Amino acid sequence: MATDIGIDLGSSKSVIFSSSKVVLELPSCVTVDSKTFEPVYFGEKAKQTIGRTPEALTCIKPIEHGIISDYDIAESMLKNYMETAFGNKILRPKIVATLPVGLTELQHHSLAKVVEGAGGRNITVIESPLAIAFGLDIDLSAPKGTMIVDMGAGTTDVAVISMGGISSCESIKIASNDIDAQIERYIRREYNIEIGALTAEKVKIQIGNLMPQDIEIAMVVKGRNVFTGLPEAFEITGEEVYNAIIDTVNSICDGIRKVFEKTDPDLVADIKSDGIYLAGGGALLNGIKEYLSEYLGCDIKLVEDPSHAVVRGAAMAIKHPDLLKNVNYQLRSIKELTVE
């Protein structure tokens, strides 16, 4: 029976962690009836309908830039995922859910309401970099600066943590999805061919690389010619993908640099000594660790299992509630979160 649950409702994927393991990981997508908005497909099946739905169906991503953009659809999706993961084996579980840094109390409240609507109780909402820090093997209670970079699909969250709380932070609205979009735009501009978001993501994963390669790699991509409207195949190289995405990656680097600018110099000195912890699905982009290190002048430490670092840390906060003693959150019922 599930009693302690960590939830990461991300722009790309929703992950549920319980009993020391990931029990569910599915795309944050729902395909609905275009007239009634009743859900038809969830998860992977819904994701495969992106750009492929008839007029009777619409594919919706209820989480945008890490924030709930469609409350009802997000609640239906999470309820379906909770039932898929646990069935009826849930009895008033303690839940820690995560969201980007720097959001308002109302946005914290909205996420808590969605989790409650999906069957949760005793809900705590914390920022994703803080959750990642909880999962690291470091002493967070010490007066020492630790920088966490969580490069997700919708946002890149950066936070400096000291004594168990956030000292400075920034939620950069540029992340992995924007890198995919840049690949789409580059191909349209250079080849006059339109490709879909799923194809752009595949190009990024297979041949995207931010560091020089001894051997040039390429892949064949298929799309629609913007002039003839006919299907067409072409070859794109890793160097072209680099040219397509480098400005977006530099914008992420600039966002991280701005966090340094508003951080106390002593904390910056700590970070320079210990390095920056990198997590999130975007951390798996080939060469990103080396590129960030060169750009920022700091050692970059890729955390173990970066795609699940947030949800693992959230579950850690449940097992060790003392981690939250210097944070403005506590395990509480949804009634205590009600906005007057």
pLDDT (tens digit per residue) in 285-295? 999 999 999 99
Listed range (180-184, 224-228, 247-251, 331-335) with the worst mean pLDDT: 331-335
Task: Indicate whether 333 pLDDT > 70.
Answer: no
Q: Are residues 143 and 283 in the same domain?
A: yes
Same domain, 198 and 293: yes
The per-residue pLDDT for range 69-115, each reduced to its tens digit, is 999 999 999 999 988 988 876 666 788 899 898 887 888 888 888 88
| Domain identity same for 11 and 159 | no
CA 230 to chain centre: 35
The answer to which of 52-66, 131-145, 232-246 has the lowest mean pLDDT is 131-145
* Same domain as 290, residue 316: no
161 and 22 inside one domain: no
pTM for this prediction: 0.89
Which is more confident, 124 or 243? 243
Strands 276-279 and 146-151: parallel
Same domain, yes or no, for 233 and 330?
no
- The pLDDT value recorded for residue 89 is 67
Residue 141 has pLDDT above 70, yes or no: yes
CB 283 within 8 A of CB 306: yes
pLDDT value at residue 17: 92
Is pLDDT at 182 greater than 80 in this prediction?
yes
pLDDT of residue 325: 65
**Domain span at 213:** 139-302
Residue 118 and residue 58 in one domain:
yes
Same domain, 103 and 186: no
CATH assignment at residue 277? 3.30.420.40
C-beta separation of 82 from 93 below 8 A: no
Instruction: Tell whether the model's pLDDT for residue 257 goes beyond 60.
Output: yes
Q: Give first-to-last CA distance, the chain, whole Å.
A: 34
- Section 185-204 average pLDDT: 95
Contacts with 335 (C-beta within 8 Å, 6 or more apart), sequence order:
none
> What tokens appear for 100 in the block?
């980007």
Query: 118 pLDDT band (50/70/90 cuts)?
Result: confident
Rounded CA gap, 165 and 133, in Å? 10
pLDDT at position 235 is 97
Q: Compute the 3-state secondary structure of the chain and give helix, strand, coil in percent, each to the nearest 5.
A: 40, 30, 30
pLDDT at 326 over 70: no
Query: Considering only 1-10, 211-220, 266-275, which range has the smallest mean pLDDT?
Result: 1-10
Check if the beta carbon of residue 169 is closer than 8 Å to that of residue 259.
yes
Q: Which residue has the higher pLDDT, 105 or 246?
A: 246
Residues 147 and 196 in one domain: yes
Q: Confidence class of residue 328 from pLDDT cuts 50, 70 and 90?
A: low
pLDDT value at 47 more than 60: yes
pLDDT of residue 340: 38
Q: Does residue 147 sit in the same domain as residue 264?
A: yes
Same domain, 161 and 98: no
**Number of domains comprising the chain:** 2
pLDDT score recorded for residue 75: 92
pLDDT score for 67:
87
Which pLDDT belongs to residue 19? Answer: 81
Q: Which residues share a beta bridge with 152?
A: none
Tell whether the model's pLDDT for residue 334 goes beyond 80.
Answer: no
Which pLDDT score, from 0 to 100, does residue 2 have? Answer: 59
With 90 as the cut, is the pLDDT of residue 315 above it? no
Helix/strand number for the chain, H first, E second: 10, 18
Q: Which pLDDT value is given to residue 165?
A: 84
Q: Are residues 112 and 185 in the same domain?
A: no
